Each structure stands twice: as C-alpha cells, then as structure tokens.
Amino acid sequence: MRTAPTILHLDMDAFFASAEQASKPSLRGKAVIVGGLGPRGVVSTCSYEARVFGVHSAMPMAQARRLAPNAAYLVPRFGLYRQISEQVMGLLRELSPLVEPLSLDEAFVDLEAGETAWDEASALLAARKLRDDIRAVTGLTGSVGLAACKMLAKIASEQAKPDGLVLIEPGTERALLAPMSVRILPGVGPATGDHLRRGGISTVGEIAEAGEDELVRLLGKAHGLALYAMALARDERPVVAERDTKSVSVEDTYDVDIHDRVRVRMEVQRLADRCVQRLRGAHLSGRTIVLKVRRYDFSTLTRSETLRGPTDDPAVVREAAARLLEAVDTTGGVRLLGVGVTGLADYTQEDLFAQARAAAAGVEEGASGERVEEAQVGGGAGAGAGAVDVVESAGGEPAERVWWAGHDVRHVEFGHGWVQGSGLGRVTVRFETPGSGPGRVKTFRVDDPLLESAEPLPLVEPLPAGPAAPGEG
C-alpha cells in the first residue's frame, strides 16, 4: 500500500435530488424525493432536507410519502443526470488517466498516476480545486475522500458528507477503523454482518483481534482472508480506468399485476426493443438473451438463451425473449419484467435468424450481469407519475403525451417550465429556469396544443467566449 494519500474518491451529494433543486429554484432548501411514483415505486435519491424525516434511498415510495407527505416527488430525468455526470468525469480525467467510475455520481481517481499529487499537501490542493471546479461547472457539490487505498478513500468521502473533504493520514488507518462497525468494510452486507455478530464480532477492531484463522473458520478462506486484510487497513486494489460492461438490460415494474398472457407477451416485446436501442446506442452486440420475471408472490425467475454469435437485431432479441417467456408460468400475475443481453462484443454476427431458432435448447437459469444504464425506477406504464393524453400522430395513429412530474416542458406564451403534477385532464406547470427566481404556476388541459415537452436546461450558463487574441480568426 502506498505511503501518501493519493487515492481520491468523489461522491456527489444527493446527486439526483441536488440536480433537481439546482434546476428548479422553487425547490431549493426543500424536501425533494426522486424515484418511481407508482405505488410500487422506490426512492432513488432524496435531498438532505427529506432525510430529516427518515426518508432514504431504496425505501418504498409509499413509506416515503407517509414520512414526508409535503415533499416534492419527481420522476428521474436520467438524460440530465448523464450530462452532468459526463461533465464531472471530464474534470476527474483532467487530474489523472486512471479514473474508475462506479456510477453516474461516484468514482475513484489515482492522483499519483496523473502526477497531480505525490504527498499530503499536493493531494489536498488537487482535491480542493476539484471541488471548486465541480461547483463552477455544474452548480452542484461533491464530497471527497483522500487516502492511501481505495477502501479508506471511500470511507473518508462518507465522513465528508455533505459537501466536505476528509483526508486519512497514512499510519492512522487502524486506529480510525477499529471502533467502526464491520458493515463499513466492502463485502460485508446484512447477512455477513449478522454472521460475524453471532461470532462475537461487531467492530473492525474485533475482526483484527479475532485473527486470520478465526475469520477463515467463520467465513471461508477467500472471504475471511480478504476481510482480515481490510481490517488491518490493507487494500491493494488498483484504480482501474476501464471497467468492461457485462450486460445491457431494461426492466419495468407494474403498479397492478399483469395477468393477461397477451399483455405480458407485448410487454416483453416492447422491453426487447428498448434493450436493443440501448445496445446499439453503446455500439455493442451480445450473444446471450436474458428474461427476468418477478411474479405476484415476489419470486424472481431469470431465463437465458445463448446464440451462436453476437447480435443487435431487434427481431432476433424479440424472438429469443418470446421463446424464453414460454418456459415461465405467469398465470398468478406478473409485477416486473426485464430483458437483457450479455456476452457483449463490439461487432455483430450477420444473419442470425437460423441460429436464434436453433438455440432453444440453450435455456439456462440464473443469468445476471451489470447494467449499462439505470433501469426504470419503480414504475412502468401507468406508474401514476403523470397524465396521459392520446392525440393523433402525423401518421394518423394515436400517440401518447405523458406529463411526468418534474420533467421539462415549454409553453409558447410562458416559456420554459416543469410539471408539478397532473391528473383529471389537467397538468400544472411551474415556469422557472435554473437562473431565475421561483416561478409562477399555471394549469392547462393535458391536450393544450401550446404546451410541449422540452429538453432540460443547463444548470450553469456557459461563460461567454472572450475576445479573440490577435491573429486568431
């Protein structure tokens, strides 16, 4: 392990909720909860003002509403969050070529590899500049941890929240870790934590005192040895710049169980098409098609089928997903469906229809993988997050206009705003922008022809270009 605190961990503060507050002046300083707004939705992120009421991530949305009935409840705007994330990751890559993103709002940086820091003073200087740059570019705040290894840098950033900076000096790690709960260590979840507690171990210091042999006896060789090393503040994991995507997948949770088999088939076909769109957007193809079904009793099944070569053909993926569905009993009702593709490659095998049909014998259970994008948070069609207005499309077919709470709109007369709520044929809009004060509220019919969906505005106005230097065109 290195002797200088040159591993940096950045974690943006309440990222989704903070982005919404920055975008909507009327919500600044107020409780904001982002997630699926249907009865089966879950909290994705909540502001610190909402956490005062006991709301936290992954909480059922129905419970959050009971705890904080007056909070603002918004549907995620992943497009905006990705744009901000790209800005933040760009700032991190200016510090070092070794940046390891963990999610949209979290990453490790090896400052030493970028020759940005080599001791405590230079690491602090780089971290302070980073926090200032993030605020200037995005208007948001992030918490930063500095340490000699990844595990401790992440612990430091947790201690720094919100909007802080904590450096763990080399040589002080064991004393710092000793009184902490075992749950602070990577890989220690509720089950492992309970198992250790039954063995008389509840703090990191007690893990170190128990010794290597006892940890191996309790948890097995691999897990026991790894946990013992971390309790001694030993973490040799490097910052890895490129993390291979393992799968691309989409899923929807439904407010009401789907019992109609035809409807289930239609949903699977729709999910397959969405999955292929994401696959192509990432310039990838894949060999294994995965179907996920969560039934009425919360039992979750996965089925997979491996093709002879990678594909990004929607017809092939639809056909394989439909075939997998035939092996699943959905008569009791379905609450969640998902379609994914694994075994990814950056090329496509042509003409796979024959092999797709021949692959029916390759059905397996338990396929899993890492998603390339966020799945929809707790609400599929009819999630109760917005009103739906059916209008005629240019081709004469009905098209849905959906007014999601928190999403951007533009009115011909009143300009840019966001949906505060909708229902009973009406949609309420607050007209304000990131740079304005709290705006006025107006209500319209959901089919108002002067109201349309809009793209999010940047949270910080770009600086005007300065005058051209002499000799520049």
Q: What is the CATH number of the domain that holds 215?
A: 1.10.150
419: which strand partners?
Answer: 429
Dihedral class, residue 192 (left if φ above 0, else alpha if ψ from -120 to 50, else beta) = alpha
100 & 168 share domain: yes
148 & 190 share domain: no
Q: 256 — phi, psi (to 5°)?
A: -120, 130
Q: Residue 463 domain-assigned?
A: no
Q: Residue 261 domain-assigned?
A: yes
288 & 328 share domain: yes
137 & 19 share domain: yes
156 & 7 share domain: yes
84 & 25 share domain: yes
H or E stretch at 196:
helix 190-198
Q: Is 105 annotated as a binding residue?
A: yes
158 in Cβ contact with 145 (< 8 Å)? yes
- DSSP tally for the chain: helices H, then strands E: 14, 20
- Residues 445 and 232: their CA atoms lie apart, in Å, by 63
317 & 411 share domain: no
Which residue, of 182, 204, 223, is where some domain finishes?
182
What pLDDT does 280 receive? 86
Q: Residue 238 domain-assigned?
A: no
* CATH number for position 135: 3.30.70.270
132 & 273 share domain: no
Number of domains in the chain: 4
Q: Residue 124 domain-assigned?
A: yes
- Residues 145 and 310: their CA atoms lie apart, in Å, by 41
374 in catalytic set: no
What pLDDT does 273 receive? 92
Q: 313 — phi, psi (to 5°)?
A: -85, 120
343 & 417 share domain: no
| pLDDT (tens digit per residue) in 352-386 | 444 444 443 343 333 333 333 333 333 333 333 45
171 & 190 share domain: no
* CATH number for position 257: 3.30.1490.100
59 & 159 share domain: yes
24 & 47 share domain: yes
**From the candidates 49, 100, 106, 112, which is the catalytic residue?**
106
Structural domain that includes position 218: 183-231
Q: State which residues of the chain have pLDDT below 50.
A: 349-385, 388-399, 469, 472-473
Q: Is 448 annotated as a binding residue?
A: no
What pLDDT does 390 receive? 39
Q: Residue 372 domain-assigned?
A: no
Q: Residue 471 domain-assigned?
A: no
332 in Cβ contact with 288 (< 8 Å)? no
451 in Cβ contact with 402 (< 8 Å)? no
What pLDDT does 445 receive? 93
What pLDDT does 463 receive? 59
Q: Burial of 366 by CB count in 10 Å (0-12 exposed, 13-18 middle, 19+ buried)?
A: exposed
Which residue, of 307, 334, 365, is where some domain finishes?
365
Q: Residue 472 domain-assigned?
A: no
**Of 155, 193, 185, nearest to 172 (Cα)?**
155
| pLDDT (tens digit per residue) in 181-236 | 998 888 787 878 888 888 899 999 999 999 888 888 888 888 888 889 999 998 88
Q: Residue 461 domain-assigned?
A: no
